[in-house]
């Protein structure tokens, strides 16, 4: 059981390293063809919501994030396995293409693996920080609404 957890962590590290190295094709080798991918903020973020399939994740999440955030990178700080799941805690970083505001948002990812592939992914983000960086709201408007 512990060996499977170590292998699952290694697989997920390949995903982040491949994206960091600018090799999305390599990152996709980690994903099951019919992966279920969930991002928060369906009504708020351009990449939010449920996405099914590796090709859809590429076009509706990865490409959209990179189109909107210059030098986007997910920087894992802690990665650990729990059964068939891999938990990743870190920060999403970059700079808003429209706003030129720095992104440094705490992020948590929960991956579920089966047969050496990621079959499910769920992200948790600081939605307000993403909205501000993407120019969808300002900190001032959020403070006035409170």
Q: Looking at residue 143, what is its pLDDT?
A: 46
Residue 125 has pLDDT above 80, yes or no: yes
End-to-end Cα spacing for the chain = 48
Q: Residue 102's domain is classified under what CATH number? A: 3.10.450.50
Looking at the 3D structure of the chain, how many domains does it have? 1
Q: Average pLDDT, stretch 111-140?
A: 92
Per-residue pLDDT tens over the stretch 2-32: 788 999 999 999 999 999 999 989 999 999 9
pTM: 0.90
pLDDT tens sequence across 34-93: 999 999 988 889 999 999 999 999 999 999 999 999 999 999 999 999 999 999 999 999
Q: Residue 54's domain spans which residues?
A: 2-145
């Amino acid at each position: 059981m512990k060996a499977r957890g170590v292998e699952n962590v290694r697989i997920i590290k390949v995903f982040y390293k491949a994206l960091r190295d600018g090799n999305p094709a390599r990152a996709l080798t980690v994903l099951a063809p019919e992966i279920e991918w969930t991002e928060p903020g369906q009504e708020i973020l351009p990449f939010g919501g449920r996405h099914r399939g590796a090709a859809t994740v590429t076009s509706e999440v990865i490409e959209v994030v990179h189109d909107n955030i210059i030098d986007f990178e997910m920087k894992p700080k802690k990665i650990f396995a729990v059964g068939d799941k891999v938990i990743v805690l870190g920060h999403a970083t970059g700079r808003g293409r429209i706003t030129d505001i720095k992104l440094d948002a705490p992020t948590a990812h929960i991956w579920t693996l089966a047969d050496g592939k990621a079959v499910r992914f769920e992200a948790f983000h600081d939605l307000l920080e993403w909205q501000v960086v993407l120019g969808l709201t300002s900190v001032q408007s959020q403070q006035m609404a409170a």
